A and B are shown apart, each in its own frame.
Chain A
Amino acid sequence: MRFNPVFFLKEALRNIRLNLLMSITAVTTTFVCVLVLGAALLVSGHVEGIIGSVRQDVSVEAFFAPDATQERIGEVRTQVEGYPEVSGATYISQEQALADFKDTFRDNPEIYQDLGSDVLPASLAIQIEDPSDAEAVAGKLKSAGFSAENLSYPQQTIERLNSVTSYMIWGLRAATALFLVSSVLLISNAIRLSIFARRQEIEVMKLVGASDGFVRTPFVLEGLLQSLVGATFAALLVVWFNYLFVDWVGNVLPFVPIASSAVNTFFVLVILMAVGAAIGVLGSFLSVTRFLRV
């Protein structure tokens, strides 16, 4: 059999026009569901972003003995930077350490008045990719000749942070999944309603000798168009709102580490539209199939 795509598209558009109220219902349902889903994605993206930025501040500090030579320091630094867990290492010289110290206590100059420039040790501030690796990195440093007193890392903080954040991230993912499931149900229900209203039409088409595919194609196209329209509007709104939000936080709460980079807007846009379209196609496909057994 020869299938004519223009015919099917015309059929789908005409059905949308003639069942305008049902179409609007389907579009609106998709819009609302995708909007909520998008909001869930945004929230989880930003919370994960904040958690990430907090975790990134965790670093291991290795202090050098006062008599350490520049060669030794360079050697250690190259070695440390070679560890797979390490994302970067910053050398802090004795002078730099004193300057930082003075800066921290700039309101109480008497604290550092009598300090000589060589009182504070030089150190290496080591940033690690995943805070749970701090222990391992410390272990390696120990075997490289650092004693436990010469290493500083906030072990307890890391452990707590890890357990709290992993719960939060899983909670957010579960909530997003829940939203996804309920939007699938809501949207396919709206589509099912609009097809149920036309089940007699489907029966007639079958009696005239139309194959399942011939009856189904315009309905599926219709579902795709409807959900795509709703999902596109919702996705654009979500992305636009994200820009506003990041901008607003940057101005009003500059100390909150919310970054536009925490949410990949293109990814969100694609995900939301793909989810909408997939539900539209699947929902209409399954609903029509129920009425095809004539």
Chain B
Amino acid sequence: MIRFDNVTKLYGRDTVALERVNLEIDPGEFVFLVGASGSGKSTLVRLILKEMEPSRGAIYVRGVRLSSIPRRQIPRLRRDIGCVFQDFKLLPNKTAAENVAYAMEVTGQKRRAIRTKVPQILDLVGLSGQMAKYPRELSGGEQQRVSVARAFVSQPRILIADEPTGNLDPETSVGIMNLLQRINRIGTTVLVATHDREMVDVMRKRVVALEGGRVVRDMVKGAYADEV
């Protein structure tokens, strides 16, 4: 589903963000990407979204080499990848429902489809009562659930979450993680970059650990640190 082939990413001339990363994520997997701040997690996520190009090596998403995708085709790639961010990245001038609807509108879906799908998905994330509220009127956890709903509404094959619980308290974080797990259960490949140790230890999923831009550990049913 996602493959990194000897990928190196430099910022400027000699700041190494990722070094010779090899990684293969299969369809339907749930993968934690762990590591301290600056270990390269976000760089890895941004490379998958083709927000930037690797300095060396190749990245494949669903078998397509990203460097072969022209700029104009990037939106198409991103519609196949749902995205959840630490800072939610909701559109401030749109209500919860409109934020979710926007992700469907960009793909040119029919208005009737949007009108039926959006309430369903917001119900799924437990926000059916907050549909008409603006992001500033919602709590952090609620905003993140809107963001998950938006990422998932066009049923992408891949869902990437970059520190989805970074701004949330532990209880709220559990809710978000459960949501991601449910999305994974219906066949979506989920990649979560996080440094939320407890969460990773509890969930017992595949863990890929980054350190200084290198993959230092890759374990099925792993934990945040070795000794657990």
Binding site for B on A (CB under 8 A): 1-4, 7, 14-15, 18, 201, 203-212, 214, 294
Instruction: Identify the stretch in B5-13, B106-114, B170-178, B217-225 within 8 Å (CB) of chain A at 4 or more residues.
Output: B106-114
Offer 24 A-B interface pairs, CB within 8 angstroms, sorted by A: A3-B108, A4-B108, A7-B105, A14-B93, A201-B91, A201-B93, A203-B89, A204-B90, A205-B102, A205-B106, A206-B75, A207-B78, A207-B89, A208-B78, A208-B102, A209-B76, A209-B103, A209-B107, A209-B154, A210-B75, A210-B106, A211-B75, A212-B75, A214-B105
B31 interface contact, C-beta 8 A: no
Binding site for A on B (CB under 8 A): 49, 51, 72, 75-76, 78-79, 83, 85, 89-93, 102-103, 105-108, 110-111, 150, 154
Does A15 lie within 8 Å of B78, measured CB to CB? no
Q: How far is the CB of B17 from chain A (nearest CB, A)?
A: 18
In the assembly, what is the distance between CA of A205 and CA of B103, in Å? 8
Q: Give how many A-B residue pairs fall within 8 Å (CB-CB).
A: 56
Chain B neighbourhood of A1, CB < 8 A = 107-108
Q: How far is the CB of A65 from chain B (nearest CB, A)?
A: 83
In the assembly, what is the distance between CA of A205 and CA of B102, in Å? 8
Q: Contact check: which of A4, A7, A203, A209 meets B79 at CB < 8 Å?
A: A209
In the assembly, what is the distance between CA of A207 and CA of B111, in Å? 22
Does B90 lie within 8 Å of A4, measured CB to CB? no
In the assembly, what is the distance between CA of A205 and CA of B111, in Å? 19
In the assembly, what is the distance between CA of A206 and CA of B106, in Å? 9
Q: Contact check: which of B72, B91, B108, B111 meets A204 at CB < 8 Å?
A: B91
Chain B neighbourhood of A211, CB < 8 A = 72, 75, 106
Chain A neighbourhood of B110, CB < 8 A = 2
Does B89 lie within 8 Å of A209, measured CB to CB? no
